[in-house]
């Protein structure tokens, strides 16, 4: 049970450690089967289990706050209807008393292709939120009050993600905050704007180096995007729900 900020930090370290060690196991297993090391690396990044530590931590936090454990769905029963598509599988879905309570997406990006993957993650995050809220507006969640939507990104802390990146401006200048911004900084800008524009209720950005990350090392470059803030937003809603039901 997480009772203090120190407990939460330790729990985040456990989730980070789980990510890197699971990624390593997946890469070795895939490479052994196919002999394709590049494919193995991709499998390690896209495999669903590597971010289970964060999903499990969120589950523990909201169950401790009063939400039934049976209301929290992972891996199964995580499909939700969309507006521009029939359905989407989310990483964590909470349905309480037949009403959608919360939804979360957990993503990670590891090098070396930070540029292409950053653009893909940006498009996914914006598109998923747009589809989600349009479905809510049209009543796809069957009378549920406004649900909570969260987004977590774990980014490898590496030279490729933290050094300045050039921009292309053949026709018009880019917004100044993107000039010379690293991919880590671009993620910070993206997640901050998504929350401020109310596409997501909360977001978290965690950086972790591949080597030290196996021992749980991580950093949080933006105070607005800490895991503590991310969790607090959802836990507060869980506590409010629990109290009103009592």
User: Concatenated DSSP letters for 219-245?
Assistant: B-S-GGG-HHHHHHHHHHHHHHHHHHH
The pLDDT confidence band at residue 245, using thresholds 50, 70 and 90, is confident
Whether 232 is in a domain gets the answer yes
Whether 5 is in a domain gets the answer no
> Pairing mode, if any, of strands 202-208 and 148-156?
parallel
The pLDDT confidence band at residue 30, using thresholds 50, 70 and 90, is low
Query: Which pair of structure tokens corresponds to residue 130?
Result: 């747009």
Whether 82 is in a domain gets the answer yes
At residue 40, does pLDDT exceed 60? Answer: no
Whether 6 is in a domain gets the answer no
Q: For residues 107 and 129, what is the distance between their CA atoms, to the nearest angstrom? A: 14
Whether 55 is in a domain gets the answer no
Query: How high is the mean pLDDT of the chain?
Result: 91
> Pairing mode, if any, of strands 92-96 and 148-156?
unpaired
For residue 102, give the DSSP letter: E
Is residue 67 within a helix (H) or strand (E), and if so which, with residue range?
Answer: none
Domain with 68, as residue range(s), is: 64-245
At residue 49, does pLDDT exceed 90? Answer: no
The pLDDT confidence band at residue 24, using thresholds 50, 70 and 90, is confident
Whether 13 is in a domain gets the answer no
Query: Which pair of structure tokens corresponds to residue 213?
Result: 């990350």
Percent of the chain at pLDDT > 70 equals: 91
Torsion, Cα of 151, 60, 223, 186 (10° steps): -20
Average pLDDT on 43-50 reads 57
Please state the domain count of the chain. Answer: 1
Whether 50 is in a domain gets the answer no
The pLDDT confidence band at residue 55, using thresholds 50, 70 and 90, is very high
For residue 185, which of 107, 114, 128 has the smallest C-alpha distance? 114
Whether 56 is in a domain gets the answer no
* pLDDT computed for residue 116 by the predictor: 85
Residue 27 in contact with residue 41, Cβ under 8 Å?
yes
- Backbone dihedral angles phi then psi of residue 134, each to the nearest 5 degrees: -70, -40
* Residue 154 three-state SS: strand
Global pTM value: 0.91
- Backbone dihedral angles phi then psi of residue 45, each to the nearest 5 degrees: -80, -40
* pLDDT computed for residue 230 by the predictor: 98
| Cα torsion 129, 74, 13, 112: sign | negative
Residue 52 in contact with residue 222, Cβ under 8 Å?
no
At residue 156, does pLDDT exceed 90? Answer: yes
For residue 161, which of 151, 153, 169 has the smallest C-alpha distance? 153
At residue 217, does pLDDT exceed 60? Answer: yes
For residue 145, give the DSSP letter: P
Residue 188 in contact with residue 140, Cβ under 8 Å?
no
For residue 147, which of 106, 93, 190 has the smallest C-alpha distance? 93
């Amino acid at each position: 049970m997480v009772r203090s900020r120190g407990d939460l930090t330790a729990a985040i370290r456990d989730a980070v450690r789980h990510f890197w060690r699971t990624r390593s196991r997946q890469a070795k297993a895939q490479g052994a089967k196919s002999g394709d090391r590049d494919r193995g690396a991709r499998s390690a990044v896209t495999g669903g289990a590597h971010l289970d530590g964060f999903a499990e931590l969120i589950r523990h936090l909201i169950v401790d706050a009063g939400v039934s454990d049976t209301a929290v769905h992972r891996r199964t029963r995580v499909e939700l209807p969309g507006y521009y598509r029939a359905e989407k599988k989310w990483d964590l879905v909470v349905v309480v008393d037949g009403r959608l309570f919360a939804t979360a997406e957990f993503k990670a990006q590891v090098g070396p292709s930070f540029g292409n993957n950053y653009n893909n993650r940006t498009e996914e995050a914006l598109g998923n939120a747009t589809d989600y809220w349009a479905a809510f507006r049209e009543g796809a969640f069957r009378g549920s009050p406004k649900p909570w939507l969260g987004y977590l990104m774990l980014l490898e802390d590496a030279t490729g993600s933290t050094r300045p990146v050039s921009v292309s401006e053949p026709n018009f200048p880019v917004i100044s905050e993107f000039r010379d911004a690293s991919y880590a900084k671009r993620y910070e800008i993206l997640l901050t704007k998504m929350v401020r524009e109310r596409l997501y209720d909360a977001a978290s950005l965690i950086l972790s180096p591949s080597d030290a990350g196996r021992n749980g090392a991580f950093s949080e470059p933006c105070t607005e995007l800490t895991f503590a803030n991310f969790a607090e937003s959802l836990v507060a809603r869980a506590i409010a729900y629990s109290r009103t039901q009592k």
